[in-house]
Structure formats: C-alpha cells, structure tokens
C-alpha cells in the first residue's frame, strides 16, 4: 500500500523489457523479420528457415558463454542473460550455446525480446525448468523437439503469432528434405541452416541415440509444451522413431509431416 500522493511501484516480471526497437537511446536489440505476416492471415505458399549462423567470435557470444558458466557455477534458479548484454551484443546472439545443458538448477529462463532464430536441443537437459519466457522474440518460429524432455515445464510466455502453423494465422512450415538416399553421407556437423534449420545435429530427438550420417529423418509436429502449442522440429535417427512420436495437438495437424504444402485447419482469426 502506498502513502497518499505517492506513485505505486509495479513489479517488472521480465527485467529489462523496454521496446527492442527504441531502447537504449534508439539502438535496436533485435533485427526485423519478414518470414510471414505476424499480424493478419495472409496466404503464402512457402516459408523458410533463417539462414544466420552464430558468430562465435562476437563479443556478445563470448559474454553469453561467461554468463552461462556463472549461472551453472552458482546454481541460480532464474537465468535472464540478455539483461547483461548491450543492445548490439543482443543482436549478435541468434542461438544459445550447447552449454545451457549445465543449467540444471534453473527454474525460469527469460529471453524476452531476443534476436534468436533457433534454440539448441540441449535445452532438454534443463531438467528443473518450470517456466520459459521467450516473449517478443519475433524471429523465433519453432523449437527443438527435445524441449519436451523438460518434464517440469508448466508455464510459458511465447509470442504465438511468430510461430509456424499457429492457430491464429496458420502460416506454413518450411519444407523439410526427405530422408537421404541409402548410402548418402551427410556431414551432420556442418549443415546449411537455410535447408536443415540448424548447423549441426548429433543425437536423435526421440531416442537420444547418435544419428548416422545417412540416417537423418526430419519432421514437424505441433505439441502443447507448458502453456503454448509449439511447432517442434524433430531430428530422428530412423523412421521407427518418427512412428513413435505422439499425435499432434488438438486443432493442429495430427500427424508428423515435412511441411511445405500441407493442409492445416482454418485460422482462428477474430
């Protein structure tokens, strides 16, 4: 309760949540995205993955690595790394490092207003994660299937209009390549993110076994994760693992698919 004439104080749930476009004296903290219209239904035949690769020499990336190590060492339960970076350093971060697997004590991961275009599968190792807040990360259109391993995750705040296949707008999914031909050798440590969504794939998102160079099977599935239905990219080691995937969420495509020209339910636009 405040004294008469005093201005009330309000709790800021996400730390520094000022506008990414105008904060810090006008410096932008995130790039714009034109993959699809995020504000109104707009038929579009094709979309693609963001092609950016993480510059691991950038100061923002180096600082992020330090912040992850610090959080792992002190066992903190809330991790909001972007508030420790300058606007330019934030723009340099397009993914998170695999070392987030060490953040086993973190219960709340805050990535508000990020410039991220992908989340690494190592998020699945954050076994105590209960709340995930990548809100207003408008370039983050999908998530790795491994996030379903976060069994304690019950709360999320996601800008759903930015997601592939979201129920309000139903933008399309990127077309995924078919499984490689028998005998094909695919360098899974150096992939083109424009085609595969990521730069490297190690283990199966379903069974966690290593994926053979010629054994990658990629599919999409939309599943409820915590509060939101998320488009999940599955990197599987075999058709058997694809067959073992659960059904898609209600009012979404019910079976795994490879994106592209696939029928979706009508958008729930109001």
Q: Which whole-number Å values give the CA distances from 96 to 105, 216, 267, in the listed order?
A: 17, 23, 31
Spatial contact of 46 and 76, defined as CB atoms under 8 Å apart: no
Tokens of 129: 């994660």
Residue 2 in any domain: the answer is: no
Q: Considering the domain boundaries, does residue 237 fall inside one?
A: yes
Cα torsion angle, 189, 192, 193, 196, sign: negative
pLDDT at 270: 63
pLDDT for 26 equals: 53
- Residue entry with tokens 């909001």: 80
In a domain, 96, yes or no: yes
Q: How many CB atoms sit inside 10 A of residue 215's CB? A: 20
User: Which of 205, 209, 210, 199 is closest to 220 using CA atoms?
Assistant: 205
Residue 183: the pLDDT is 63
pLDDT at 41: 83
- Domain membership flag for residue 265: no
Going residue by residue through the chain (270 aa), what tens digit of pLDDT does each one get? Answer: 444 444 443 344 444 544 444 344 456 778 999 999 998 887 776 899 999 999 999 999 999 999 999 999 999 999 999 999 999 999 999 999 999 999 999 999 999 999 999 999 999 999 999 999 999 999 999 999 999 999 999 999 999 999 999 999 999 999 999 887 766 788 999 999 999 999 999 999 999 999 998 899 999 999 999 999 999 999 999 999 999 999 999 999 999 999 998 999 999 866
DSSP state of 10: -
25 within some domain:
no
* DSSP summary character for residue 195: H
> Is the residue at 139 inside a domain?
yes
Q: From the CB of residue 31, how many other CB atoms can be counted at a distance below 10 Å?
A: 14
Closest CA to 43 of 248, 222, 194, 266: 266
Residue 234 lies in a domain: yes
Q: How far apart are CA 75 and CA 85, in angstroms?
A: 20
Q: What is the pTM of this model?
A: 0.89
- CA 178 from centroid of its chain's CA atoms: 23
CA distance 109 to 21: 22
CB 72 within 8 A of CB 103: yes
* Total number of domains in the chain: 1
Whether 267 is covered by a domain: the verdict is no
CA distance 232 to 147: 9
**Pairwise CA distance, residues 171 & 35, whole Å:** 9
Domain containing residue 232 = 42-243
How far is residue 7's CA from residue 9's CA, in Å, rounded to a whole number?
Answer: 7
Cα–Cα dist 52/123, whole Å: 20
| Helices vs. strands in the chain: H and E counts, helices first | 5, 7
- Distant-in-sequence, close-in-space partners of 23: CB < 8 Å, separation ≥ 6: 16, 29, 87
Tokens of 213: 């160079």
């Amino acid at each position: 309760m405040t004294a008469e004439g005093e201005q009330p104080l309000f709790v800021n749930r996400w730390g520094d949540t000022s506008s990414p476009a105008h904060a810090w004296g006008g410096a932008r903290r995130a790039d714009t995205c034109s993959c699809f219209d995020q504000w109104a239904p707009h038929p579009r035949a094709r979309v693609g993955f963001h092609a950016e690769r993480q510059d691991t020499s950038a100061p923002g990336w180096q600082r992020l690595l330090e912040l992850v190590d610090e959080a792992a060492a002190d066992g903190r339960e809330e991790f909001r790394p972007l508030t420790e970076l300058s606007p330019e350093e934030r723009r340099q971060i397009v993914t998170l490092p695999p070392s987030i697997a060490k953040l086993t004590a973190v219960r709340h991961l805050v990535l508000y207003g990020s410039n991220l275009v992908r989340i690494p599968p190592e998020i699945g190792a954050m076994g105590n994660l209960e709340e995930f807040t990548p809100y207003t990360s408008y370039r983050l259109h999908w998530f790795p299937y491994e996030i379903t391993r976060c069994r304690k995750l019950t709360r999320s705040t996601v800008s759903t209009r930015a997601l592939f296949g979201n129920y309000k707008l139903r933008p399309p999914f990127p077309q995924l390549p078919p499984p490689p031909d028998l005998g094909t050798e695919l360098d899974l440590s150096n992939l083109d993110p424009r085609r595969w969504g990521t730069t490297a794939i190690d283990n199966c998102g379903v069974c966690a076994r290593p994926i053979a160079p010629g054994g990658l099977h990629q599919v999409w599935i939309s599943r409820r994760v915590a509060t939101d239905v998320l488009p999940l990219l599955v990197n599987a080691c075999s058709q058997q693992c694809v067959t073992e995937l659960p059904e898609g969420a209600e009012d979404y495509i019910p079976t795994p698919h490879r994106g592209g020209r696939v029928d979706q339910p009508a958008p729930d636009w109001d």
